[in-house]
Amino acid sequence: MSLRCFLLLIVLPAGALANGTPVPKRTSVPTCPYPGAPINWILAYCAREMNTGDEIALQNSPCFQKAEKDLSQKDECAINKKYKTKVCRDLAAKDAKHHSSIQDCLKDQKVEPFYAGG
């Protein structure tokens, strides 16, 4: 008597749960003037506060831990604006030559969120 083993391979589309339900994606609203993932804007703010680009140190910092609760909000654009505003407040205070006001800085597309290794 021989036993035959069959391997059943189930291929799910990327971004699907085991039951085939699509995983909801959190993406920035295309019309948001502050593009990027909210976590990256929080990291950008904390990087300025802590004066470091070390992502591990940032994610373990009191700054990030305090801000992390904002990630549960649904309005990603509002989160991005909040933390870009905080970055801009710091930039305007320290570099008025390039950013004369927070509003001026908010419009500046060169002010970007944090990117690891960037």
24: in domain: no
42: in domain: yes
Backbone angles phi, psi at 32, to 5 degrees: -70, 125
- In angstroms, the CA 17 to CA 91 distance is 42
3-state secondary structure of 115: coil
Task: Give the residue numbers spanning the domain of 85.
Answer: 38-107
Q: Say whether pLDDT at 7 is over 70.
A: no
Tell me: the pLDDT tens digits for 38-58? 999 999 999 999 999 999 999
Domain count across the chain:
1
- Can you give the pLDDT at residue 99? 80
- In angstroms, the CA 92 to CA 111 distance is 12
Find residue 22's DSSP bridge partners: 16
- Can you give the pLDDT at residue 31? 86
- In angstroms, the CA 81 to CA 99 distance is 16
Q: Say whether pLDDT at 70 is over 60.
A: yes
23: in domain: no
- In angstroms, the CA 39 to CA 115 distance is 10
69: in domain: yes
- Mean pLDDT of the region 72-96: 92
More confident position, 6 or 25: 25
29: in domain: no
